[in-house]
Structure 1
Amino acid sequence: MKAKNQSAIEFLLLGLSEDLGLQPILFGLFLSIYLVTVLGNLLIILAISSDSHLHTPMYFFISNLSFTDVCFSTSTVPKMLVNIQQQSRTISYTACLTQVYFVLVFAGLENFLLSAMAYDRYIAICNPLRYTFIMNPCLCVLATLFSLFISSVDALLHCLMLLRLSFCEDLEIPHFFCELDQVIKLSCSNTLLNNILVYTVTSVLGGVPLLGIIFSYIKIASSVLRMPSTEGKYKAFSTCGSHLSVVSLFYGTAFGVYISTAVTDSSRKTAVASVMYTVVPSMMNPFIYSLRNRDMKEALKKLTSQIPFLL
């Protein structure tokens, strides 16, 4: 089978359904989800930046997580909306690799930020007297920049490995965005090195932060259970509630997609399942942090009172 010139390659994003009658419904649904995601996360960022009481390490990471959620959603949903609106499924080779890059960057960054937030809660509960010293602004900024650097290097490495692949016929991607694994499957050249890289990096960069989160919460639970006051226990656990909800949503949906991929041969069902980890967590995070956090509620009330058109 003859390989195509890379500059002439165009992939086809099959989306979630080929039913033309469903396209307007999907367009309206995902446009609504995207707008809620962007507006909700921007409100969180504005509320935190405008309230000096929230200029703490925990809210610094929350604001960065909200920014990451906006970017993560923007890297996938707008292209899907454009394709539905124009009734076109094509995406160029360059655009596809660009999408792969940014999806990997922001997915990786969210993974690291959740781990950093777990460490922040661990220090706040298990070592409160040294919290200000350990979780200083310099450390928070360095942790965020380091997370971004590692995620960017990881994404760049995967994209460089994609550049060595040749693509022939049948360039249909059964997803609404260019997912790395699906692009690799379309190659007509040897993809052994690509697959080894994917499994190795996913295990390390995905497993290490997750283990860090689990370790942090084991230590937190152990410390809280030793507290003599019931009120103290409740207060300690309540500060972790929002983060635990976000962690459960992010990793739960990701593992759900992995399991669905393993048990079903239907690529279309896998594409539908992938919506759960690419779109839903980014939309739900602002609600989790605003509804379960009293300080955030107060900050949002102050912000909306200062902006007449939000009343």
Structure 2
Amino acid sequence: SGTPSRKSSGRRFMFSQCGVCGACEWDPTMAKLPFQETAEGLDAAFVGVPIDTGTSNRPGARFGPRQIRVESALLRAYNSGTRAAPFESIMVADIGDVNVNVYDLKDTCKRIREAYRKILATGCIPLTMGGDHTIAYPILQAVAEKYGPVGLVHVDAHADTSDVVLGERIGHGTPFRRCVEEGLLDCKRVVQIGLRGTGYSADSYEWSRAQGFRVVQVEECWFKSLAPLMAEVRTQMGNGPVYLSFDIDALDPGFAPGTGTPEIAGLTPIQGVEIIRGCRGLNLVGCDLVEVSPPYDTTGNTALTGANLLFEMLCVLPKVKHY
């Protein structure tokens, strides 16, 4: 196709050697992990999908994977809260970015689907750094090819179940409508948490409920721990395969302003962590953290939060040891 490669460098993360600024020609890796070209031999892999061609409001999420990697330099090997020791338990590396086509969203979706088929064929669990939420659709196409219809824990300010937006059926507001149409989801094992904001009708989530999704609007989350909710979600998900998709805009923009479609009165980072930790014990077959937009992330806190949430996802994967 002639499209240049967008994979990360094969060198180690520069911070681990100089610790100064990272402003050099060497690309960062997630959590200073080793880089390798493929998912062969890995139990889990961090992978970037640097697109924002599916966004409807503010762009910039194509820069999300790199900024998450940069901010992840602060991550250490153990989870002090849960005593998880992922790097003692499973083989993990950063396998760089999917070689997307920033001029053609449909071709990008094809490229993502093919890349994830290869990742999943190795038995590796992908931990994805977005990129806008469009990417969940082709990823779930590949996931469902391997596992059949999957359960979904979807954390977001928006349901992302629109049918057509400005004449387009593929974009960051439509992925889960497409997934339902193609039978990629086990609709009785889908929960959407944190939904809020203004809408185009009085009940923006009627379609989700009609499919059998459990919809947890943000008002149900205010001023409370979400640990009890996640106990119910674990029962709902059962033993079947589950995919976790976390849009950073689920968090209140006071905590995570660097995103394309912010909505006030959102979840706290504490609640975000509770949701992810509440997925421990599920048969997770893939996770993503999407919609980090560095141009609106003036302090780096949004990407830093995203990096930590991705580490929390790693810590709840099957086979991870806890002290």
Tell me which interval the TM-score lies in, with the shorter structure as reference length: under 0.3
Give the TM-score normalised by the residue count of structure 1: 0.28
Return the structure number with greater helix share. Answer: 1
Q: Choose between structure 1 and 2 for higher RCO, CA contacts under 8 A separated by at least 6 residues.
A: 1
Give the TM-score normalised by the residue count of structure 2: 0.27
Whichever of the two has the greater Rg, that structure is 1
